[in-house]
Amino acid sequence: MRRTVKILALILFYFLACGKSCDNQEKSDAYHEQIKIRVETDSLRSAFGTDTLSSSSLLAYLETAKQRFYDFNDYLHIVADTSIAGPFRDKAREMIRNLFITDAEPAKIINPFGLDSVGIKETFQKINDSVYEGRLAYSFRTLQRSGKTIISPNETGTITIYLVKRDKNFGKEKLRVWNVFLGKIE
């Protein structure tokens, strides 16, 4: 009986001595997490941080610019609607400022308009290594304060758009990625 207990104790000691510790698992998990983060960062860098843009990438960014202009119009409607709470209207003003490139944001928020269509007037042209410039054409109808469309012919306008490569924080790292901004409205 003693011998059996000693053998069982020896087997139990063997399993305890040879088993992986919890500390090793935590280190392994942290290492695998770092690898996953590195892979994701590399993926973002290859998708959004390339130095040269293909024609299909430029077209995708043009579509993004068109969507930003539609968003701008939506935010204008929120800012102009006095029935919406002040903090929401303030947030819409902030969102408008973030849509525009520095020094190009509207000094005063213009009246909302009934946006009919947005199209590409000039595709993105490379200005330098980190800036492309293009233009969108749009048609709209003037709105009354109540939000109803005034019966008027379509008016047209243009807006300059920019594709700018800027630093963006991703965790502890900064990546240079392409961002679309609106410019001067004409």
pLDDT value at position 152?
63
Q: Is residue 31 included in any domain, yes or no?
A: no
Please state, for a pLDDT cut of 90, what percent of the chain lies above it.
20
Classify residue 27: in a domain, yes or no. Answer: no
- For residue 47, pLDDT beyond 60: no
On the question of pLDDT at 176 being above 90, the answer is no
Span 82-94, mean pLDDT?
A: 90
CATH number of 89's domain: 3.10.450
Q: How many domains does the chain have?
A: 1
Write down how long the chain is. Answer: 186
Whether 51 contacts 129, CB under 8 Å: yes
> What b/e string do you get for 13-45 counting C-beta neighbours within 10 Å, with b at 16 or more?
eeeeeeeeeeeeeeeeeeeeeeeeeeeeeeeee
- In a domain? residue 89: yes
User: Could you list the residue range(s) of the whole structural domain that residue 143 is in?
Assistant: 52-185
Domain membership flag for residue 102: yes
pLDDT in tens, 132-163: 999 999 888 776 655 555 556 678 889 999 99
Q: Say what the pLDDT of residue 136 is.
A: 93
pLDDT bin (cut points 50, 70, 90) of residue 185 is confident
Compute and round to an integer the Cα radius of gyration of the chain.
28
Residue 12 has pLDDT above 90, yes or no: no
Residue 166 lies in a domain: yes
Which residue carries 């139990």 as its tokens?
A: 12
Helix ranges, 2-148 (H): 2-18, 22-48, 55-80, 86-99
Q: List the one residue out of 62, 73, 57 whose CA is nearest residue 181.
A: 62
